[in-house]
Amino acid sequence: MIIVTYRIETAGSIEAMAEKIASDQSTGTFVPVPGETQELKQRVAARVLSIRWLTDAERPSWPEETGRGPIRRADVEIGFPLEAVGTDLSALMTIAVGGIFSIKGFTGLRVVDLKLPEAFRGVYPGPQFGLAGSRRLTGVEGRPIIGTIVKPALGLRPHETAELVGELISSGVDFIKDDEKLMSPAYSPLKERVAAIMPKILDHEQKTGKKVMYAFGISHTDPDEMMRNHDLVLQAGGNCAVININSIGMGAMAFLRKRSGLVLHAHRNGWDVLTRHPGIGLDFRVWQQFWRLLGVDQFQINGIGVKYWEPDDSFVRSFEAVTTPLFEESDCALPVAGSGQWGGQAPETYRRTGRTTDLLYLCGGGIVSHPGGPAAGVRAVTQAWEAAVADIPLETYARDHPELAASLQKFGGKGE
């Protein structure tokens, strides 16, 4: 049985609305029809398993639905028989998630948990690389993988990008990525970008033994085209790609993963609209399960003190979500903390995510705009993580770590 928890908000009856989800999403219809027997219903009908009452809502999440009385809230567990849904994720999405938001009578509705049964074990490939593969390919152990982003987001020609990338490579950074908004526009076709950047990566590897992981933006609406992009990167010796998972969709992700030789770095743009209103949509812990089963290796989940709307608590919960096994350890994704990150957030990130260094720590301006240049920026971030792990305040550690000191001086108003 697939168990889904819905946070229901209604001016009507919680019990009736819970039953309505169960009925609408399995056997129900608006009038009884011939052939609809009890036996049939019982075999495939969804069932309300439990109701946990919450405090009333102050106001309705969906403004068009206003009742006169109090607005009740509850977390309702509904069980969907495996026989009715099967293990196809698009079927699960349609039955347990897709259909519910059209139901009348709610003033808010949010999917807050999803428990998949054992029958899903082994059906999907999951991450091909994940934490272990990302560590192996970057050669980084015992500290976070440190990454940066090529800026500006849009507008550099391939040779200009490659020039910046050259500087970033020699900074000692472990990971570099295209901005998620950069795929293959006319001024920077992926083919030319790969051709300009990969020789620098390989040359550096040749000289130092260190291969920087570069994530190229290969997303494309046409999966055949996306595979050609994938092949371009792989054949040039690249090992990673940024995927805009929401824009391409679940099917294209499944298609890619079946054929992929690259680490798949997921950018979740488009997700915020599904989750930013706390009374509507779905929690990241639900949504990420789909994408991890489909094969996301590295999952961008914001970070502490980000420049976006997401509160720190939500990031912490996301971090826990992607690192909690669904069926086995290997189905976890490597969490990627990013957005407005420099070294300053290292102590709190470390403290609040179970004192682990198993993450990719992504700093854009935080590395590139360091007063001493990118190499000093990378050293500053590394020093911040050393301090965090050793429980030494950044200010103290900065006394004999000048790059961290410079970083604190420049970015100190942000983050910690």
Footprint on residues 60-79 left by a second copy (CB under 8 A): 61-65
Binding mask 183-222 for a second copy (x = CB under 8 A): xxxxx-------------------------------xxxx
Query: According to CB under 8 A, which one of 70, 99, 117, 122 is a site residue for a second copy?
Result: 99
Residues 3, 93, 375, 389: which binds a second copy (CB under 8 A)? 93
- Across the beta sheet with 2-10, the strand order is 47-57, 71-80, 2-10, 108-115, 280-282
**Token pair for 310:** 């997401």
Burial-class residue 42 by CB neighbours within 10 Å (0-12, 13-18, 19+): exposed
Q: Cβ contacts of residue 287 below 8 Å, gap of 6+?
A: 271, 274, 275
Running DSSP on this structure, what letter comes out for residue 157?
-
Site string for a second copy, 326-355 (x = CB under 8 A): --------------x---------------
- In the complex, the smallest distance separating the C-beta of residue 392 from a second copy, rounded to whole angstroms, is 26
Least distance in angstroms from the C-beta of 235 to a second copy: 21
Contact 159, 196 (CB under 8 A): yes
Q: Contacts with a second copy in 288-317 (CB under 8 A)?
A: 294, 307-311
Least Å from the CB of residue 389 to a second copy: 26
User: Which member of 280, 378, 380, 408 binds a second copy (CB under 8 A)?
Assistant: 280
The structure tokens listed for 329 are: 């350890």
Tokens 């049964």 sit on residue: 117
Site for a second copy in 372-411 (CB under 8 A): none
* Residue keyed to tokens 């809230």: 73
Beta carbons within 8 Å of 88's beta carbon, 6+ residues apart: none
Is residue 413 near a second copy by the rule CB under 8 A? no
Q: Are 383 and 336 in contact (CB under 8 A)?
A: no
CB of 363 to a second copy, least distance (A): 11
Q: Which of 52, 277, 351, 355 binds a second copy (CB under 8 A)?
A: 277
* Interface stretch with a second copy, choices 20-28, 48-56, 168-176, 323-331 (CB under 8 A): 20-28
| Residues composing the chain | 416
Count of residues that interact with a second copy, criterion CB under 8 A: 101
State yes or no: residue 244 binds a second copy (CB under 8 A).
Answer: yes
- Burial class of residue 69 in the structure, from the number of CB atoms within 10 Å of its CB (0-12 exposed, 13-18 middle, 19+ buried): exposed
Question: Closest Cα to residue 354, out of 390, 396, 311, 323?
Answer: 323
Interface with a second copy by CB under 8 A: which range of 126-134, 147-155, 205-213, 384-392? 147-155
Q: Of the two residues 190 and 387, which places its CB atom closer to a second copy in the complex?
A: 190
Q: Is 163 in the site for a second copy (CB under 8 A)?
A: yes
Using the Cα atoms of residue 69, residue 71, residue 74 and residue 80 in order, give the sign of their dihedral. Answer: positive
DSSP helix/strand/coil, 4 = strand
Nearer to a second copy, 32 or 69 (CB): 32
Answer for which of 147, 281, 344, 347 binds a second copy (CB under 8 A) is: 281
For residues 294 and 253, the answer to whether their CB atoms sit within 8 Å is yes
Q: Taking CB under 8 A as the rule, does residue 90 contact a second copy?
A: yes
